[in-house]
Protein backbone atom coordinates (compact mmCIF):
# COMPACT_ATOMS: atom_id res chain seq x y z
CA UNK A 1 0.00 0.00 0.00
CA UNK A 2 2.86 2.36 0.83
CA UNK A 3 4.41 1.69 -2.56
CA UNK A 4 1.08 2.45 -4.21
CA UNK A 5 0.73 5.76 -2.32
CA UNK A 6 4.31 6.68 -3.09
CA UNK A 7 3.67 6.01 -6.74
CA UNK A 8 0.60 8.24 -6.67
CA UNK A 9 2.54 11.02 -4.96
CA UNK A 10 5.35 10.82 -7.51
CA UNK A 11 2.85 10.88 -10.38
CA UNK A 12 1.07 13.89 -8.87
CA UNK A 13 4.36 15.71 -8.42
CA UNK A 14 5.35 15.00 -12.01
CA UNK A 15 2.09 16.48 -13.33
CA UNK A 16 2.21 19.76 -11.35
CA UNK A 17 3.65 21.56 -14.35
CA UNK A 18 0.66 20.80 -16.59
CA UNK A 19 -0.56 24.10 -18.01
CA UNK A 20 -4.21 24.95 -17.31
CA UNK A 21 -4.32 28.72 -17.85
CA UNK A 22 -4.63 29.57 -21.54
CA UNK A 23 -6.19 33.02 -21.35
CA UNK A 24 -3.16 34.51 -23.10
CA UNK A 25 -1.79 31.41 -24.87
CA UNK A 26 -2.57 29.26 -27.88
CA UNK A 27 -4.32 25.98 -27.14
CA UNK A 28 -4.36 22.71 -29.04
CA UNK A 29 -7.77 23.63 -30.43
CA UNK A 30 -6.55 27.07 -31.50
CA UNK A 31 -3.55 25.60 -33.31
CA UNK A 32 -5.68 23.10 -35.26
CA UNK A 33 -8.57 25.55 -35.84
CA UNK A 34 -10.91 22.92 -34.42
CA UNK A 35 -13.74 25.44 -34.23
CA UNK A 36 -13.75 25.60 -38.05
CA UNK A 37 -12.85 21.96 -38.63
CA UNK A 38 -15.53 20.48 -36.37
CA UNK A 39 -18.25 22.84 -37.53
CA UNK A 40 -17.79 21.97 -41.21
CA UNK A 41 -20.11 18.96 -41.20
CA UNK A 42 -23.32 20.77 -42.07
CA UNK A 43 -25.52 18.25 -43.80
CA UNK A 44 -28.42 18.98 -46.13
CA UNK A 45 -30.86 16.29 -44.98
CA UNK A 46 -30.73 16.04 -41.20
CA UNK A 47 -30.41 12.25 -41.53
CA UNK A 48 -28.27 10.53 -38.88
CA UNK A 49 -25.97 8.76 -41.37
CA UNK A 50 -25.15 11.85 -43.39
CA UNK A 51 -22.48 12.74 -40.79
CA UNK A 52 -20.66 9.50 -41.61
CA UNK A 53 -20.82 10.30 -45.33
CA UNK A 54 -19.49 13.84 -44.88
CA UNK A 55 -16.71 13.02 -42.41
CA UNK A 56 -15.32 10.13 -44.46
CA UNK A 57 -15.05 12.36 -47.52
CA UNK A 58 -13.60 15.29 -45.59
CA UNK A 59 -10.95 13.09 -44.00
CA UNK A 60 -10.07 11.70 -47.43
CA UNK A 61 -9.66 15.24 -48.77
CA UNK A 62 -7.32 16.11 -45.89
CA UNK A 63 -5.21 13.04 -46.65
CA UNK A 64 -5.20 13.96 -50.34
CA UNK A 65 -3.95 17.44 -49.44
CA UNK A 66 -0.98 15.81 -47.71
CA UNK A 67 -0.40 13.44 -50.65
CA UNK A 68 -0.15 16.43 -53.00
CA UNK A 69 2.21 18.16 -50.58
CA UNK A 70 4.51 15.13 -50.53
CA UNK A 71 4.30 14.41 -54.27
CA UNK A 72 5.21 17.99 -55.14
CA UNK A 73 8.24 17.84 -52.87
CA UNK A 74 9.28 14.44 -54.25
CA UNK A 75 9.13 15.71 -57.83
CA UNK A 76 11.31 18.69 -56.92
CA UNK A 77 13.89 16.44 -55.26
CA UNK A 78 14.01 14.02 -58.20
CA UNK A 79 14.47 16.93 -60.59
CA UNK A 80 17.39 18.09 -58.39
CA UNK A 81 18.97 14.58 -58.40
CA UNK A 82 18.41 14.37 -54.64
CA UNK A 83 16.66 11.01 -54.38
CA UNK A 84 16.92 10.16 -50.69
CA UNK A 85 14.41 12.80 -49.50
CA UNK A 86 12.14 11.81 -52.39
CA UNK A 87 12.16 8.20 -51.17
CA UNK A 88 10.98 9.32 -47.73
CA UNK A 89 8.22 11.47 -49.22
CA UNK A 90 7.02 8.75 -51.60
CA UNK A 91 7.02 6.19 -48.78
CA UNK A 92 4.86 8.58 -46.75
CA UNK A 93 2.44 8.86 -49.69
CA UNK A 94 2.03 5.07 -49.66
CA UNK A 95 1.26 5.08 -45.93
CA UNK A 96 -1.31 7.83 -46.43
CA UNK A 97 -2.92 5.82 -49.22
CA UNK A 98 -3.35 2.89 -46.85
CA UNK A 99 -5.23 5.16 -44.45
CA UNK A 100 -7.59 6.39 -47.18
CA UNK A 101 -8.31 2.80 -48.21
CA UNK A 102 -9.39 1.97 -44.66
CA UNK A 103 -11.92 4.78 -44.85
CA UNK A 104 -13.94 2.74 -47.35
CA UNK A 105 -14.31 0.04 -44.69
CA UNK A 106 -16.06 2.57 -42.46
CA UNK A 107 -18.23 3.98 -45.25
CA UNK A 108 -19.31 0.48 -46.25
CA UNK A 109 -21.30 0.30 -42.99
CA UNK A 110 -23.76 2.63 -44.72
CA UNK A 111 -26.57 0.48 -46.11
CA UNK A 112 -28.50 1.14 -49.36
CA UNK A 113 -31.65 1.99 -47.39
CA UNK A 114 -29.77 4.49 -45.21
CA UNK A 115 -28.07 6.20 -48.15
CA UNK A 116 -31.36 6.54 -50.03
CA UNK A 117 -32.64 8.66 -47.14
CA UNK A 118 -30.39 11.55 -48.18
CA UNK A 119 -28.88 10.71 -51.60
CA UNK A 120 -31.34 12.87 -53.56
CA UNK A 121 -30.48 15.83 -51.32
CA UNK A 122 -26.91 15.77 -52.67
CA UNK A 123 -28.10 16.98 -56.06
CA UNK A 124 -25.26 16.63 -58.57
CA UNK A 125 -22.49 16.85 -55.97
CA UNK A 126 -20.19 13.85 -56.41
CA UNK A 127 -16.74 12.60 -55.49
CA UNK A 128 -16.14 12.62 -59.25
CA UNK A 129 -15.70 16.38 -58.83
CA UNK A 130 -12.90 16.15 -56.23
CA UNK A 131 -10.32 18.58 -57.57
CA UNK A 132 -7.60 17.24 -55.29
CA UNK A 133 -8.08 13.75 -56.68
CA UNK A 134 -7.73 15.22 -60.18
CA UNK A 135 -4.52 16.94 -59.13
CA UNK A 136 -3.18 13.62 -57.82
CA UNK A 137 -4.00 12.06 -61.19
CA UNK A 138 -2.22 14.95 -62.91
CA UNK A 139 0.82 14.55 -60.65
CA UNK A 140 0.95 10.84 -61.52
CA UNK A 141 0.68 11.60 -65.24
CA UNK A 142 -2.94 10.77 -66.06
CA UNK A 143 -4.32 13.89 -67.74
CA UNK A 144 -7.68 14.29 -69.45
CA UNK A 145 -8.41 17.84 -70.52
CA UNK A 146 -12.20 17.57 -70.52
CA UNK A 147 -12.32 17.29 -66.70
CA UNK A 148 -11.03 20.87 -66.37
CA UNK A 149 -14.44 22.17 -67.46
CA UNK A 150 -15.92 20.86 -64.19
CA UNK A 151 -14.05 23.58 -62.30
CA UNK A 152 -14.78 26.63 -64.47
CA UNK A 153 -17.21 27.83 -61.80
CA UNK A 154 -14.19 28.90 -59.71
CA UNK A 155 -11.63 30.83 -61.84
CA UNK A 156 -8.89 30.64 -59.19
CA UNK A 157 -9.29 26.88 -58.79
CA UNK A 158 -9.54 26.41 -62.54
CA UNK A 159 -6.26 28.27 -63.03
CA UNK A 160 -4.59 26.14 -60.33
CA UNK A 161 -5.76 22.94 -61.98
CA UNK A 162 -4.74 24.14 -65.43
CA UNK A 163 -1.23 24.87 -64.14
CA UNK A 164 -1.03 21.37 -62.63
CA UNK A 165 -2.35 19.91 -65.88
CA UNK A 166 0.54 21.41 -67.84
CA UNK A 167 3.24 20.61 -65.26
CA UNK A 168 5.54 17.56 -65.47
CA UNK A 169 4.33 14.66 -63.36
CA UNK A 170 6.17 12.23 -61.12
CA UNK A 171 6.89 9.78 -63.94
CA UNK A 172 8.11 12.58 -66.20
CA UNK A 173 10.61 13.51 -63.49
CA UNK A 174 11.68 9.88 -63.09
CA UNK A 175 12.23 9.40 -66.85
CA UNK A 176 14.24 12.61 -67.08
CA UNK A 177 16.34 11.24 -64.21
CA UNK A 178 16.95 8.06 -66.22
CA UNK A 179 18.28 10.18 -69.09
CA UNK A 180 20.55 12.20 -66.79
CA UNK A 181 21.86 8.93 -65.38
CA UNK A 182 23.13 7.87 -68.80
CA UNK A 183 20.27 5.77 -70.14
CA UNK A 184 19.33 6.28 -73.78
CA UNK A 185 15.79 7.62 -73.76
CA UNK A 186 14.06 8.60 -76.99
CA UNK A 187 13.92 12.36 -77.60
CA UNK A 188 10.22 12.02 -78.34
CA UNK A 189 9.73 11.04 -74.69
CA UNK A 190 12.05 13.66 -73.21
CA UNK A 191 10.44 16.48 -75.19
CA UNK A 192 6.86 15.21 -75.17
CA UNK A 193 3.85 17.36 -74.31
CA UNK A 194 3.41 16.57 -70.61
CA UNK A 195 -0.23 17.64 -70.72
CA UNK A 196 -1.04 14.47 -72.66
CA UNK A 197 -1.50 10.98 -71.24
CA UNK A 198 1.83 9.13 -71.19
CA UNK A 199 2.19 6.29 -73.69
CA UNK A 200 4.54 3.32 -73.08
CA UNK A 201 7.92 3.59 -74.78
CA UNK A 202 10.47 0.88 -75.59
CA UNK A 203 13.51 2.98 -74.61
CA UNK A 204 12.03 3.60 -71.17
CA UNK A 205 11.17 -0.07 -70.82
CA UNK A 206 14.75 -1.07 -71.71
CA UNK A 207 16.17 1.38 -69.18
CA UNK A 208 14.06 0.00 -66.33
CA UNK A 209 14.86 -3.53 -67.46
CA UNK A 210 18.58 -2.80 -67.22
CA UNK A 211 18.10 -1.34 -63.73
CA UNK A 212 16.22 -4.41 -62.49
CA UNK A 213 18.79 -6.76 -63.97
CA UNK A 214 21.68 -4.85 -62.34
CA UNK A 215 20.26 -3.73 -59.03
CA UNK A 216 23.59 -3.26 -57.26
CA UNK A 217 24.87 -0.98 -60.01
CA UNK A 218 21.70 1.13 -60.10
CA UNK A 219 20.52 0.87 -56.51
CA UNK A 220 18.99 4.35 -56.17
CA UNK A 221 17.09 4.12 -59.45
CA UNK A 222 15.87 0.67 -58.43
CA UNK A 223 14.59 2.15 -55.17
CA UNK A 224 12.86 4.92 -57.09
CA UNK A 225 11.16 2.38 -59.34
CA UNK A 226 9.86 0.37 -56.40
CA UNK A 227 8.53 3.50 -54.68
CA UNK A 228 6.59 4.31 -57.85
CA UNK A 229 5.20 0.78 -58.01
CA UNK A 230 4.13 1.04 -54.36
CA UNK A 231 2.18 4.22 -55.08
CA UNK A 232 0.43 2.81 -58.14
CA UNK A 233 -0.34 -0.45 -56.34
CA UNK A 234 -1.95 1.38 -53.41
CA UNK A 235 -3.87 3.69 -55.74
CA UNK A 236 -5.33 0.74 -57.61
CA UNK A 237 -6.32 -0.85 -54.30
CA UNK A 238 -7.98 2.44 -53.33
CA UNK A 239 -9.87 2.46 -56.64
CA UNK A 240 -10.97 -1.14 -56.17
CA UNK A 241 -12.26 -0.52 -52.64
CA UNK A 242 -14.04 2.59 -53.92
CA UNK A 243 -15.72 0.60 -56.67
CA UNK A 244 -16.80 -2.23 -54.36
CA UNK A 245 -18.10 0.19 -51.70
CA UNK A 246 -20.18 2.04 -54.30
CA UNK A 247 -21.50 -1.25 -55.66
CA UNK A 248 -22.37 -2.37 -52.14
CA UNK A 249 -24.30 0.83 -51.38
CA UNK A 250 -25.98 1.82 -54.67
CA UNK A 251 -25.44 -1.13 -56.98
CA UNK A 252 -25.25 -0.08 -60.63
CA UNK A 253 -27.21 3.17 -60.33
CA UNK A 254 -25.89 6.24 -62.12
CA UNK A 255 -23.59 8.40 -59.97
CA UNK A 256 -24.92 11.68 -58.55
CA UNK A 257 -22.42 13.54 -60.75
CA UNK A 258 -23.75 11.86 -63.92
CA UNK A 259 -21.11 9.15 -64.35
CA UNK A 260 -22.09 5.53 -64.94
CA UNK A 261 -21.11 4.78 -61.34
CA UNK A 262 -19.68 1.31 -60.83
CA UNK A 263 -19.09 0.77 -64.55
CA UNK A 264 -16.98 3.94 -64.70
CA UNK A 265 -15.02 2.91 -61.60
CA UNK A 266 -14.35 -0.52 -63.10
CA UNK A 267 -13.06 1.08 -66.29
CA UNK A 268 -10.45 3.23 -64.50
CA UNK A 269 -8.99 0.11 -62.89
CA UNK A 270 -7.43 -0.61 -66.29
CA UNK A 271 -5.47 2.66 -66.28
CA UNK A 272 -1.71 2.52 -65.67
CA UNK A 273 0.42 5.44 -64.54
CA UNK A 274 3.85 3.82 -64.84
CA UNK A 275 3.27 1.13 -67.49
CA UNK A 276 6.86 0.03 -68.13
CA UNK A 277 7.39 -0.73 -64.45
CA UNK A 278 4.62 -3.30 -64.71
CA UNK A 279 5.65 -4.61 -68.12
CA UNK A 280 9.17 -5.48 -66.97
CA UNK A 281 7.79 -7.84 -64.32
CA UNK A 282 7.37 -10.22 -67.26
CA UNK A 283 10.70 -9.29 -68.88
CA UNK A 284 13.18 -9.85 -66.05
Spatial separation of the C-alpha atoms in residues 181 and 209, rounded to whole Å: 14
Residue 56 annotated in ligand binding: yes
> Is 256 marked as a binding-site residue?
yes
54 is in an annotated binding site: yes
Residue 55 assigned as binding residue: yes
Q: Which residues of 265-274 are buried (b: 16+ CB within 10 A; e: fewer)?
A: beeeeeeebb
Phi/psi at 197 (nearest 5 deg)?
A: -65, 130
Q: Burial-class residue 246 by CB neighbours within 10 Å (0-12, 13-18, 19+).
A: buried
The annotation status of 10 as a binding-site residue, yes or no, is no
Q: Is 218 annotated as a binding residue?
A: no
Q: What string of DSSP letters covers 125-165?
A: --GGG-HHHHHHHHHTT---GGGGGGGTTSHHHHHHHHHHH
20 is in an annotated binding site: no
> H helices of the chain, where?
2-14, 28-32, 34-37, 50-79, 83-107, 112-116, 131-139, 155-165, 170-180, 187-190, 202-213, 219-250, 262-268, 275-283
Please indicate if the annotation marks 183 as binding a ligand. Answer: no
Q: Is 242 annotated as a binding residue?
A: yes
Per the annotation, binding residues for substrate are: 53-57, 115, 119, 256
Binding residues, as ranges, are 53-57, 115, 119, 242, 256
List the binding residues for heme: 242
Amino acid sequence: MDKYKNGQNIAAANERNIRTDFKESMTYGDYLHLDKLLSAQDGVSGHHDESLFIIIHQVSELWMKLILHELSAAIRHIEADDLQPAFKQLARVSRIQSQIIQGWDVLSTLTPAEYLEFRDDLGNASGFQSYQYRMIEFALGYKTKHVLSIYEKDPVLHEQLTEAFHAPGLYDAAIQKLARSGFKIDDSVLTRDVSTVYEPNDSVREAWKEIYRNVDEHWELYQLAEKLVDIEDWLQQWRFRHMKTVERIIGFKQGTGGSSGVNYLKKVLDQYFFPELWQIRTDV
